[in-house]
């Protein structure tokens, strides 16, 4: 869905002859006569095409010209840029619907209060930071939307989903204050969340302000990509009949121009165009600066972005110049103003912000005599007041209206603004602007005067907050506007009704074991998903998300069972139509989100689905299954964000385990994802060994999240090694969930006792070691399944902390200690992950813990060789137990030496963790 005609408005706005003349002719003399007639004939053709056939046909004409140039062997660039001018000409601007005067006053107060919050936050030695300049440049872009566009959720329509630029949060708080949603105390406690009565979080964090913020955006790039997948997710819900309202919500994303350098920002643009997401509007605040300096000092960020958005198929609306320029453009007979606009660099424009009018006259207008004459009637002071488009409500309103009315695809509004607008010498357009947090008295007075804030000379040094009375015209106006638009924004509300989730018995197939047959935990999970998808009540709420890896995990039968979502259905005949179960079935109401090779995009879908209980009023159960190596390691910040967003659902790191995934080598073999996942506070991390454990964990998770309403999510390691799956032993349910239970006691009648903790498929090393120890070394080893070291550790930490804080009360005993304290003999843990994963509980294991794990880079090898290399195979587990027994003096050291020989272990073998110490 490429946009075929980026030019027409410019063609209409100025004759070709003049534009070309501007390009070749520095002064106001007309170009040479022969060129002139040629140019005129070209112009005539274009005019005729436009008049008779419309812009689309005119676009075809242009394409034809390009084809002919190419055929003639001439290089012809595909135009993706339009001149540096507003996309919407003044004549096409709609009348402004609001009270400009009142809106300006409201906006000025929002500006003041936002600034005051940050300035106050630095007082009294607190120095807790904050940003003034980002919101200062964004204020008009927000206020026009607050007064005329953002829809709240109090009416019959769905609330807009708005991704606010993270650093502008003070502006959102200031707005909420004017709306009487927040009080002065809240503003005083900006960035003081531990203050009495709570405070306001630095940035949008739903975890910290769950009734206010919906979307965390402050990690640059994540808001933009989330917004695209959110808009697509609304379409998915609609197609599947899961939207609560007839209408779909509009998604807005406010993006920084510097933020556009993040790969996540621009990486999914084509999806939005391909899916025709006209429910999505981006507003890129092009203040030309980021933190350190200009975004493109030597270029033009707006032009660069326009090219990218156009190329990706977006509708682009440039809002460059405010109304005060309209008159100059109207008189720009020879296109010189346009030419100068096109050639001046962002670095120049930034300089014009801080320079006096005389500099602007000399440097910008003075380049061409004809251009200089254009501003003869304006004083130097007037020149500094030629406002940029993003600060002009009329231009912004026109752009928003055009964006929300645009059909067929997403719109990007590229709005030119000034960073730190209104701060004057305190930071307007300065390179230090982003970091400016303090204002001296003089600067405060200037700010007050510029925005006409009614604060007295005596009070100004205290930077007080100011809010008009409830009965004032301003308050009444803004509340009335919000009422008409359906209530406050942002607002997070959990409306979804709890689900009745299935009990464990529903998954008999996994509980009864596989008999002599073999199954991996991945295969077992896929069975579970397939059973769940058939559940009459829950089935349709399941959202499987896959980044082009379904076949790897044996999930292709789900293609035909529940279909792959495609907004277009399936317009072609799939090559594997005859393949029965597993043909690639795309359908308009398909359930699977097959995202292609994008872990970031898949996580964005996971978050959209896992927060639907709050953002769309419907409890959905996402299962995102992927190559575990490309999980928290690849897109860890999105995992973190999922926690912040209070996402619910299941993450399934398949092909887990450094030695279980054989052959694939260093980049694929994951020996650390549970560790990375453990860093996320609301993520429950499990490493199940058997099918019934997978079923028990998923069942319990569904109950906790969707029946009991806990805002947590799950990470499960899934392996691809097939082995006979045992039936669920009685009485192990609680242990599975808490993190540890005795799976198989060792045989009686042996001289020595020991314990081996195993998890995931590597529990098989423990079970085989149990046999060897009993048969050859007179040791009875109990094998335990450690399903969650994170759970065990957290529970123990909680108990310890309680004991520290309650010295006079009987101490609590951590679960893991309760479980193990009566046991005799040493403990060994064997894992397919780094040793630090089991070591998490070492402190509470009686007599300490010997650990075998997989520290180091993976290798391409067979499972057996990998396990010997990383020293977590059965023989190494035997050695570990014997070593521990010898250390306690239970057996002679010679026996250990003998075992090393018997078990064929090379004591001089390389240490797999070749690390720099
Ligand atoms: C991933 C990430 N990297 C770095 C930062 C630190 N940071 C915060 S704001 C900022 C500059 C933002 O510039 P821009 O996107 O142009 O927004 P503006 O404030 O100019 O509106 C930087 C580097 C961050 N928040 N997130
Ligand atoms: Mg910027």
Lowest mean pLDDT among 65-74, 509-518, 753-762: 65-74
Q: How far is the CA of 420 from the centre of ligand 2 (A)?
A: 10
| 713 neighbors 631 (Cβ within 8 angstroms) | no
Instruction: Give the residue whose CA is nearest to atom 17 of ligand 1.
Output: 256
The ligand whose atoms approach the alpha carbon of 132 most closely is 1
The burial class, CB within 10 Å (0-12 / 13-18 / 19+), for 375 is buried
CB burial of 720-729 (b: ≥16 within 10 Å; e: otherwise) equals bbbbebbebe
Confidence of residue 670 (pLDDT cuts 50, 70, 90): very high
What's the whole-number mean pLDDT along residues 324-351? 97
Candidates 510, 512, 530; CA nearest to 520 is 510
The ligand whose atoms approach the alpha carbon of 203 most closely is 1
Instruction: Give the residue whose CA is nearest to atom 4 of ligand 1.
Output: 220
C-beta atoms surrounding 314 within 10 Å: 26
- Above 70 in pLDDT, residue 868? yes
The ligand whose atoms approach the alpha carbon of 258 most closely is 1
> pLDDT at position 39, please?
56
Instruction: Give the residue whose CA is nearest to atom 22 of ligand 1.
Output: 291
Distance, CA of 287 to CA of 132 (rounded, Å): 13
Lowest mean pLDDT among 273-282, 395-404, 421-430, 485-494: 421-430
Q: How far is the CA of 225 from the centre of ligand 1 (A)?
A: 15
H helix or E strand, kind and range, residue 742: strand 740-744
Instruction: Give the residue whose CA is nearest to atom 16 of ligand 1.
Output: 258
Instruction: Give the residue whose CA is nearest to atom 12 of ligand 1.
Output: 290
Give, as residue ranges, everything with CB less than 5 Å from ion ligand 2. 256-258, 287, 289
| 151 neighbors 404 (Cβ within 8 angstroms) | no
- What backbone torsions phi and psi does residue 272 show, to the nearest 5 degrees? -60, -40
> pLDDT at position 1, please?
35
Report which of residues 915 and 786 the model is more confident about.
Answer: 786
Lowest mean pLDDT among 501-505, 579-583, 612-616, 861-865: 579-583
Candidates 296, 292, 293; CA nearest to 307 is 296
- Above 50 in pLDDT, residue 23? no
**Helices 336-343 and 16-24, interaxial angle, to 10°?**
60
Distance, CA of 302 to CA of 268 (rounded, Å): 19
User: Which atom of ligand 1 is closest in space to residue 260's alpha carbon?
Assistant: 15
Q: How far is the CA of 473 from the centre of ligand 2 (A)?
A: 34
Q: How far is the CA of 146 from the centre of ligand 1 (A)?
A: 23
- Above 60 in pLDDT, residue 757? yes
For residue 594, list its beta bridge partners.
546
Confidence of residue 579 (pLDDT cuts 50, 70, 90): confident
| 843 neighbors 794 (Cβ within 8 angstroms) | no
What is the Cβ-side half-sphere exposure of residue 916, based on CA atoms within 13 angstroms? 0
User: Which atom of ligand 1 is closest in space to residue 222's alpha carbon?
Assistant: 1
Confidence of residue 45 (pLDDT cuts 50, 70, 90): confident
Q: How far is the CA of 712 from the centre of ligand 1 (A)?
A: 29
Distance, CA of 453 to CA of 199 (rounded, Å): 25
> pLDDT at position 36, please?
52
Q: How far is CA 862 from CA 660, 717, 802, 867, 868, in A?
A: 9, 20, 47, 9, 10
Instruction: Give the residue whose CA is nearest to atom 20 of ligand 1.
Output: 290
Q: What is the mean pLDDT of the chain?
A: 93
Pocket of ligand 1, candidates 254, 259, 638: which has the most ligand atoms within 8 Å of its Cβ, to mutate?
A: 259
> pLDDT at position 52, please?
72
Name the pTM for this structure. Answer: 0.94
CB-defined site of ligand 1, < 6 Å:
134, 137, 167, 218-221, 256-259, 285, 287, 289-291, 295, 419, 434
User: Which atom of ligand 1 is closest in space to residue 218's alpha carbon?
Assistant: 25
Q: How far is the CA of 295 from the centre of ligand 2 (A)?
A: 7
> pLDDT at position 9, please?
34
Confidence of residue 56 (pLDDT cuts 50, 70, 90): low
Pocket of ligand 1, candidates 139, 220, 262, 418: which has the most ligand atoms within 8 Å of its Cβ, to mutate?
A: 220
- What backbone torsions phi and psi does residue 616 show, to the nearest 5 degrees? -130, 5
- Above 90 in pLDDT, residue 618? yes
The burial class, CB within 10 Å (0-12 / 13-18 / 19+), for 459 is exposed
- Above 70 in pLDDT, residue 31? no
Pocket of ligand 1, candidates 417, 431, 434: which has the most ligand atoms within 8 Å of its Cβ, to mutate?
A: 434
Distance, CA of 178 to CA of 172 (rounded, Å): 10
- Above 90 in pLDDT, residue 658? yes
User: Which atom of ligand 1 is closest in space to residue 138's alpha carbon?
Assistant: 21
> pLDDT at position 793, please?
98
| 622 neighbors 610 (Cβ within 8 angstroms) | yes
Distance, CA of 905 to CA of 108 (rounded, Å): 76
The torsion defined by the Cα of 789, 795, 797 and 801, in degrees rounded to 10, comes to 180
User: Which atom of ligand 1 is closest in space to residue 256's alpha carbon?
Assistant: 15
Distance, CA of 312 to CA of 413 (rounded, Å): 14
Q: How far is the CA of 258 from the centre of ligand 2 (A)?
A: 5
Please list, in sequence order, all residues whose beta carbon lies within 8 angstroms of the beta carbon of residue 473, skipping any fewer than 6 positions away: 102
The ligand whose atoms approach the alpha carbon of 261 most closely is 1
Strand 621-627, strand 542-546: pairing = parallel
Please list, in sequence order, all residues whose beta carbon lies within 8 angstroms of the beta carbon of residue 286, skipping any fewer than 6 positions away: 257, 295, 301, 302, 305, 390, 414, 415, 416, 417
The burial class, CB within 10 Å (0-12 / 13-18 / 19+), for 217 is buried
Q: How far is CA 676 from CA 522, 525, 600, 684, 796, in A?
A: 21, 22, 17, 12, 20
Integer-rounded Cα radius of gyration of the chain = 33
Q: In which residue are the tokens 């993003």 written? A: 390
Confidence of residue 429 (pLDDT cuts 50, 70, 90): very high
Q: How far is the CA of 434 from the centre of ligand 1 (A)?
A: 9
What's the whole-number mean pLDDT along residues 112-118? 97
Distance, CA of 444 to CA of 333 (rounded, Å): 43
Here the tokens at position 650 are: 């299941």
What's the whole-number mean pLDDT along residues 538-552? 96
Q: How far is the CA of 866 from the centre of ligand 1 (A)?
A: 44
The ligand whose atoms approach the alpha carbon of 136 most closely is 1
CB burial of 258-273 (b: ≥16 within 10 Å; e: otherwise) equals bbbebebbbbbbebbb
User: Which atom of ligand 1 is closest in space to residue 285's alpha carbon?
Assistant: 21
Pocket of ligand 1, candidates 291, 428, 435: which has the most ligand atoms within 8 Å of its Cβ, to mutate?
A: 291
> pLDDT at position 399, please?
98
User: Which atom of ligand 1 is closest in space to residue 637's alpha carbon?
Assistant: 1
Instruction: Give the residue whose CA is nearest to atom 3 of ligand 1.
Output: 220
> pLDDT at position 57, please?
67
> pLDDT at position 591, please?
98
- Above 90 in pLDDT, residue 29? no
* Per-residue pLDDT tens over the stretch 343-390: 999 999 999 999 999 999 999 999 999 999 999 999 999 999 999 999
| 132 neighbors 190 (Cβ within 8 angstroms) | no
What's the whole-number mean pLDDT along residues 742-761? 98
Confidence of residue 12 (pLDDT cuts 50, 70, 90): very low
**H helix runs in 621-741, sequence order:** 632-644, 673-678, 691-702, 733-738
User: Which atom of ligand 1 is closest in space to residue 295's alpha carbon?
Assistant: 16
Q: How far is the CA of 259 from the centre of ligand 1 (A)?
A: 6
Confidence of residue 814 (pLDDT cuts 50, 70, 90): very high
- Report the phi/psi class of residue 301: left, alpha or beta, with left for phi > 0 and alpha for psi in -120 to 50: alpha
| 295 neighbors 324 (Cβ within 8 angstroms) | no
- What backbone torsions phi and psi does residue 321 show, to the nearest 5 degrees? -115, 140
What is the Cβ-side half-sphere exposure of residue 578, based on CA atoms within 13 angstroms? 1
Strand 827-830, strand 740-744: pairing = unpaired
- What backbone torsions phi and psi does residue 801 show, to the nearest 5 degrees? -65, -40
Confidence of residue 582 (pLDDT cuts 50, 70, 90): confident
Calculate what percentage of the chain has a pLDDT beyond 70: 93
Q: How far is the CA of 83 from the centre of ligand 1 (A)?
A: 28
Q: How far is the CA of 220 from the centre of ligand 1 (A)?
A: 6
Report which of residues 70 and 396 the model is more confident about.
Answer: 396
What's the whole-number mean pLDDT along residues 126-132? 93
Please list, in sequence order, all residues whose beta carbon lies within 8 angstroms of the beta carbon of residue 890, skipping any fewer than 6 positions away: 752, 825
The ligand whose atoms approach the alpha carbon of 133 most closely is 1
User: Which atom of ligand 1 is closest in space to residue 287's alpha carbon?
Assistant: 20
Q: How far is the CA of 293 from the centre of ligand 1 (A)?
A: 11
DSSP 531-586: HHHH-TTTGGGEEEEESS-TTTTT-THHHHHH-EE-TT---S--TTGGGGGGS--E
Q: How far is the CA of 463 from the centre of ligand 2 (A)?
A: 26
Instruction: Give the residue whose CA is nearest to atom 25 of ligand 1.
Output: 219
Distance, CA of 413 to CA of 392 (rounded, Å): 14
> pLDDT at position 3, please?
37
Q: How far is the CA of 132 from the centre of ligand 2 (A)?
A: 13
Distance, CA of 228 to CA of 884 (rounded, Å): 55
């Amino acid at each position: 869905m490429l946009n075929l005609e980026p030019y027409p408005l410019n063609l209409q706005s100025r004759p070709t002859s003049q534009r070309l003349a501007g390009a070749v002719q520095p002064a106001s003399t007309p170009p040479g006569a022969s060129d002139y007639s040629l140019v005129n004939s070209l112009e005539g053709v274009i005019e005729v095409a436009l008049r008779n056939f419309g812009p689309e046909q005119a676009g075809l004409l242009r394409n034809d010209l390009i084809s002919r140039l190419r055929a003639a062997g001439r290089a012809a660039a595909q135009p993706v840029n339009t001149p540096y001018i507003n996309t919407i000409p003044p004549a096409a601007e709609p009348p402004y619907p609001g009270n400009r005067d009142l809106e300006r006053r409201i906006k000025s107060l929002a500006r003041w209060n936002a600034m005051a919050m940050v300035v106050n936050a630095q007082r009294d030695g607190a120095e807790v930071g904050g940003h003034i300049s980002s919101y200062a440049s964004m204020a008009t872009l927000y206020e026009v939307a607050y007064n005329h566009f953002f829809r709240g959720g109090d009416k019959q329509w769905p609330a807009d989903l708005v991704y606010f630029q993270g650093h502008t949060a003070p502006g959102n708080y200031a707005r909420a204050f004017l709306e009487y949603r927040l009080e002065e105390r809240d503003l005083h406690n900006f960035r003081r969340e531990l203050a009495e009565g709570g405070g306001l979080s630095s940035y949008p964090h739903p975890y910290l302000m769950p009734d206010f913020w919906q979307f965390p955006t402050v990690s640059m790039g994540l808001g933009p990509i989330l917004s695209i997948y959110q808009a697509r997710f609304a379409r998915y819900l609609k197609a599947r009949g899961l939207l609560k309202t007839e209408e779909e919500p509009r998604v807005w994303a406010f993006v920084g121009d510097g933020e556009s350098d993040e790969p996540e920002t621009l990486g999914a643009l084509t999806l939005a165009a391909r899916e025709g997401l006209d429910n999505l509007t981006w507003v890129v605040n092009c203040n030309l600066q980021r933190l350190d300096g200009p975004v493109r000092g030597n270029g033009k960020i707006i032009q660069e972005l326009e090219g990218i958005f156009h190329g990706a198929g977006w509708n682009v609306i440039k809002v460059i110049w405010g109304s005060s320029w309209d008159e100059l453009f109207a008189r720009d007979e020879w296109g010189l103003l346009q030419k100068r606009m096109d050639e001046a660099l962002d670095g120049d424009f930034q300089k014009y912000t801080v320079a006096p009018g005389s500099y602007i006259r000399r440097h910008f207008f003075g380049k061409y005599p004809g251009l200089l004459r254009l501003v003869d009637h304006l004083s130097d002071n007037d020149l500094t007041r030629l406002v940029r488009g993003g600060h002009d409500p009329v231009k912004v309103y026109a752009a928003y209206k055009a964006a929300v009315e645009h059909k067929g695809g997403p719109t990007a509004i590229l709005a030119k603004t000034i960073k730190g607008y209104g701060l004057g010498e305190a930071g307007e357009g300065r390179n230090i602007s982003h970091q400016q947090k303090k204002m001296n008295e003089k600067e405060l007075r200037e700010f007050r005067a510029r925005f006409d804030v009614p604060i007295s000379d005596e009070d100004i040094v205290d930077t007080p907050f100011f809010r008009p009375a409830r009965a004032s015209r301003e308050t009444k106006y803004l509340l009335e506007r919000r009422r008409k638009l359906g209530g406050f924004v942002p607002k997070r509300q959990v409306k979804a009704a709890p689900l009745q989730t299935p009990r464990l018995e529903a998954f008999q197939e996994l509980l009864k074991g596989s008999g002599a047959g073999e199954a991996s935990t991945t295969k077992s999970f896929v069975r579970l998903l397939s059973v769940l998808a058939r559940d009459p009540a829950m089935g349709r709420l399941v959202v499987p998300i896959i980044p082009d890896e379904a076949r790897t995990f044996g999930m292709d039968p789900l293609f035909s069972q529940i279909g792959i979502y495609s907004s277009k259905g399936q317009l072609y005949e799939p090559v594997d139509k005859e393949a029965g179960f597993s043909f690639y079935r795309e359908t308009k109401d398909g359930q699977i989100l097959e995202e292609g090779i994008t872990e970031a995009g898949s996580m964005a879908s996971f978050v959209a689905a896992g927060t639907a209980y709050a953002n769309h009023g419907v409890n959905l159960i996402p299962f995102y299954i992927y190559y575990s190596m490309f999980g928290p390691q690849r897109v860890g910040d999105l995992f973190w964000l999922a926690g912040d967003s209070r996402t619910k659902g299941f993450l399934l790191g398949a092909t887990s385990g450094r030695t279980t995934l054989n052959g694939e080598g260093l980049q694929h073999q994951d020996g650390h994802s549970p560790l990375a996942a453990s860093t996320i506070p609301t993520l429950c991390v499990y490493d199940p060994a058997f099918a019934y454990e997978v079923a028990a964990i998923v069942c319990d998770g569904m109950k906790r999240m969707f029946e009991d309403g806990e805002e947590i999510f799950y990470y499960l390691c899934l392996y691809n090694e097939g082995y006979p799956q045992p039936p669920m032993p009685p009485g192990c349910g609680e242990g599975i969930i808490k993190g540890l239970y005795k799976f198989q006691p060792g045989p009686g009648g042996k001289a020595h006792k020991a314990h081996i903790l195993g998890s995931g498929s590597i529990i098989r090393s423990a079970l085989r070691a149990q046999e060897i120890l009993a048969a050859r070394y007179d040791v009875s080893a109990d094998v335990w399944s450690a399903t969650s070291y994170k759970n065990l550790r957290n529970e123990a930490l909680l108990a310890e902390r309680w004991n520290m804080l309650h010295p006079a009360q009987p101490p609590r005993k951590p679960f893991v200690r309760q479980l193990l304290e009566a046991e005799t003999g040493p403990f060994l843990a064997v894992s397919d992950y780094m040793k630090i994963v089991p070591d998490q509980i070492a402190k509470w294991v009686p007599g300490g813990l010997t650990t075998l794990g997989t520290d180091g880079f993976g290798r391409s090898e067979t499972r057996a060789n990998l396990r010997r290399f990383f020293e977590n195979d059965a023989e190494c587990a035997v050695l570990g137990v014997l070593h521990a027994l010898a250390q306690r003096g239970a057996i002679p050291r010679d026996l250990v030496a003998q075992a090393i020989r018997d078990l064929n272990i090379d004591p001089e073998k390389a240490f797999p963790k070749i690390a720099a110490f």
